[in-house]
Every structure is written in structure tokens, then in C-alpha cells.
Amino acid sequence: METTLRGVGVSHGVAIGEVRHMGTAVLEPPAKQIPTEEAEREQGRARQAVEAVAADLIARGNLAGGEAQHVLEAQAMMAQDPELMADVDRRIAVGSTAERGVYDAFASYRALLANAGEYLAGRVADLDDVRNRIVARLLGVPMPGVPDSDEPYVLIARDLAPADTALLDPALVLGFVTEEGGPTSHSAILARALGVPAVVALPGAGEIAEGTVVAVDGSTGEVFVEPSDEKRAEMESAAAARKAALSATTGPGATSDGHKVPLLANVGGPADVPAAVAAGAEGVGLFRTEFLFLDDSKQAPTEAKQIAAYRAVLEAFPEGRVVVRVLDAGADKPLDFLTPADEPNPALGVRGLRSLLDHPDVLRTQLTALSKAVEGLPVYLEVMAPMVADRADAKAFADACREAGLQAKFGAMVEIPSAALRARSILQEVEFLSLGTNDLAQYTFAADRQVGAVSRLQDPWQPALLDLVALSADAARAEGKSCGVCGEAAADPLLACVLTGLGVTSLSMGAASIPYVRATLAKYTLAQCERAASAARATDSAEEARVAAQAVLSGE
């Protein structure tokens, strides 16, 4: 009998197929003692396993390319963390086996982050995956991971680590469903980049029996277990219609009555550019430069290395707009040379622009590199600061840009509620705003963006979040300046219409989402988008807001 489950849809599309479950996680190693004379040998085994796993993660990243490569390289750095390895050595020295030492050291680190309120303690899938891979290698058992199958299937897991998500084969993995995770987790972001339909935060997903046929709607978050023939036909028809609409709509983003809404791409570096160009991106709305810095957490990349990376992206969009976010370090992206090591809650501490203002040499080098990278190129460069809290922050950043001789527009990200509430004040110092809806939701609702248990508060349809978007857009309109959205909210086609109705002037997203957003925007007038936005803001929950907007746009 057909049953319906609902999670959080994070990657558009429909997948219908048999369920396959993720391989079993590594079992906890036995807590047996070893003689003192064996400690050195066990420490050597642990180090070899760590290096092998790190090398494997880097190799997977090289195969995957793009943003996935940066994620996996960061995971490899996690495996080699010197403090973790020192803890492993200490545990082995007092009698633990290599595998038990690794297991316990990672468990201790995991608990430490959680108890400290670490901003991305919720990104536990990354940490657990590294541990499981090291322990599996030491135990000589198969790595937990994506199942082997000759036939296409729908993958179900408690959570998916980046190493698994990055190398999913879309020809075999029709879609995936996870019990944990949130709409802005690494797995969700990579699923969108791959174009694989995905639903996360679905309680009980693991109880669906192997081989059961399910139909997954990555747009609505619905999962139909043993769907009827009618339901399958309905979903397949809707998917075909959506595909036809995508093919029929090309060119710049705009509403049906010609109101232009530039559709831009979020990129992490040059490797992400081909997909953005292929999707018809009109430029880059978020160039995440931190991935360049994560290659070596102990020192900043040289000016020459930065110039080469920036220029490679800038050259791809002649006459287009490229918005570069300066280094956003701290919290989930700690850098040894920049990030305080003893903050009780890094999410609320020295991160983003605060770190750069404490290290003006790092900011100066980056701004100088950008200035040199854009020389002679017919591109519209805009540079923005992350984690701007008030006018003083905005002024400090604008002053630094001018001192570096940067010929570009200077902007501020709106990720902190104070910036939305005082947007007009901030716009006295900068020329544009860009809403980072992922962090803005996190700080508005005190809900870690990686924790599935609070995923309803991470939903960008929350009316309170829409209110903050409206405040920012209204302030920009009053000042005659632009206000874009570069958070994952822009990747939702229906929400893109609402954001347009709120007054947002551009939308930036993962390349795979651009065709969906372009096709949906082209169906409605600006007035319809404005009415949908008003209807959504008049509700009291994310679900009510979504339903209200859909009702307006469908003419109900």
C-alpha cells in the first residue's frame, strides 16, 4: 500500500526506483590492552592508515573536481589534524590498539565540539566518515559506503559523507534519501551540484526495506513508498513537463513581463566555472575564495597564486558580473594562521570580516591580488565582506578596498540579523548587499544549519527570514542600490519567485539549479511574484508560506 513520508527536499527532480541502503558503518573496535613494547608499532600503523585515508580523499576530490574537491581536501586535512594525531599517540602509549586509539580520539573530539557549541559540530557526517575510513583500514574490513549495484537505485542512508556524495554516479544513483542532515549540509550542496534528486531529514528512512520501490520528489521533500501506478505516472509526467520547460527557456533570467533578474552561479574556484557557463549563468554571484586558503591551513596562499585563481574565474565571464567574497575563515573553516584556537563558540566569535580586520595583511594581500587579477579584463568585479554586523564593519572594509587601490564595487553580506535591520545604514558605506540566507537563518533562529533536528528552522521559507530579506531589499531600493541573494534559498524555483517579489535584484545558486529557476521565473509576472511574496509573509510557518505562495502563483 502506498504511504507518504515527508522530509526536506534539497535537490530538484524525481527519482523512482528500488531502495539500496548505505553499507554498514564500522563497528566499535574492542577495548583490549596491548603490551608497552607494541605501542610504537601501533602508532606507526595508525599514522600509515591516516595518511592512506587522506591520500584517498584527495584522490577522490581530484576525480570529482569542482566544489566537491575542496570539500574532500578539507576532510583530508581533518584526518591529518596534528592535535587529533597527538591524542591517538597518547592513547596508544597507555595501551590502546591503533584502531581503538583512533576511535576514542575521534569520539573525544566529536564530544568536545558538541559541548562547546561549535558552529559546525552538526557536520558530524564528515568527522565520522574520516574515523570510519581509518578504523576500517586498520581492521582490514571493507569501507562503509555506496553499495555495489548493476541496476539503478535510490540510496538511503542515515547521512552521507562528502566522500560518498561527491562520487555518486548519477547513472546508477537515481536519487538519495537521508535521515539526518539539513538543507545546507555538504551532502545537500553537492547533490545539487550533481543534479541528483535528494531528500534529507526524513525520520524513519532507514526502516524502508531493501528492494522496496520508492518515488522521491526532491522539490517537495515527499517520498512515496510503494507508489501506485497512478502516482508513478503522475510524477513521471510532471518530471517530463519540467524537463521540457527547462529546454524551452534560455537566455537571461526574467519574469514573463520582462523584469530582469540576473541568474548567477556560486563557485568555489576555476574548476566550477565550466558547469556555470554551460548552465547559462550570467556571471558569478558568490566566489567562495576560502577554498583557495584551505589548501594550507598554516599560511595564506601567495599573491601570485591568488592572482592566477581569481583571473581564471574572471576571464570566463567577459562583460559579466563576478562577485567575490573575501576570505570567510573561522567556525567550520578554521585556519591555523588566522583563527583563534580557544574560542568557546566560534560561530559567535572572530570569523569572517572580524578575522580579516584582526589580520589586515591577509586582507590587503587578497585585495591587491584581486586588483591585479582584473587588470585589462572586460568584467564587472564586485567584492564583498562576509559577516558584516554594522556600519563600522562596512566602513572598515570599504576603506581597506580603497587603500588597496581596488577598482571595483564594494559590498556587504547580510548574514547577521543586525545587518538586515540596519541595512540602510550599512549602505551608506558600500554599494550593494548580498544575502547569505544559510547563515542568516542560522543566526535568526539559533539553529545550527547542519543539525537535522532543527531543520524546520533552517527552512528559508520561514516568514521571519522573508521579513529580513524584505527589510534588506527595501533599504537597497531606497538607496538606489542592488540587493542579491547568494544563499541556497535562491536555488528553490518557487522561492526564487518570492524573493523577486520581495525586491531582490539578482539570484545566485549552484549551476545545476539555474535552468529550473530560469524556467519558473519566466512563467510569472513581477506583479504575481509580489503577490506571492506578500501572501508568504502573511503566514506563520514555512509550510504555510510555501502553500500560500504556490496558491497565488497557480491562480487558486
- The answer to whether residue 486 is catalytic is yes
Q: Is the dihedral of CA 132, 138, 143, 144 positive or negative?
A: negative
CA distance 24 to 401: 51
Q: Coil, strand, or helix at residue 244?
A: helix
| Half-sphere exposure for 499 (CA within 13 Å, toward CB) | 35
Burial zone of 241 (CB within 10 Å; 0-12 exposed, 13-18 middle, 19+ buried): exposed
Q: Coil, strand, or helix at residue 533?
A: helix
Nearest to 313 by CA among 375, 373, 383: 373
- 555: CB partners within 8 A, 6+ apart: none
CA distance 78 to 15: 33
Residue tagged 578504523 (cell numbers): 135
Q: Coil, strand, or helix at residue 348?
A: helix
* Active-site position among 186, 401, 497, 529: 186
Ramachandran sector of residue 460 (left: φ over 0; alpha: ψ -120 to 50; beta: rest): alpha
Alpha helices in 249-338 (DSSP H): 273-278, 290-293, 303-314
Residue tagged 519558473 (cell numbers): 520
CA distance 40 to 199: 46
- The answer to whether residue 529 is catalytic is no
Measured in whole angstroms, the distance separating CA 260 from the mean position of its chain's CA atoms is: 26
Neighbours of 21 (CB within 10 A): 17
Integer Rg of the chain from CA: 24
* Active-site position among 12, 401, 483, 486: 486
CA distance 517 to 253: 8
Taking the alpha carbons at both ends of the chain, their separation in whole angstroms is 31
CA distance 29 to 103: 7
Measured in whole angstroms, the distance separating CA 143 from the mean position of its chain's CA atoms is: 25
CA distance 464 to 532: 16
CA distance 73 to 519: 35
Helix, strand, coil percentages for the chain (3-state, nearest 5): 50, 15, 35
* Cα–Cα distance list, 331 to 48, 85, 396 (Å): 29, 21, 22
CA distance 540 to 545: 7
Catalytic residues: 186, 486
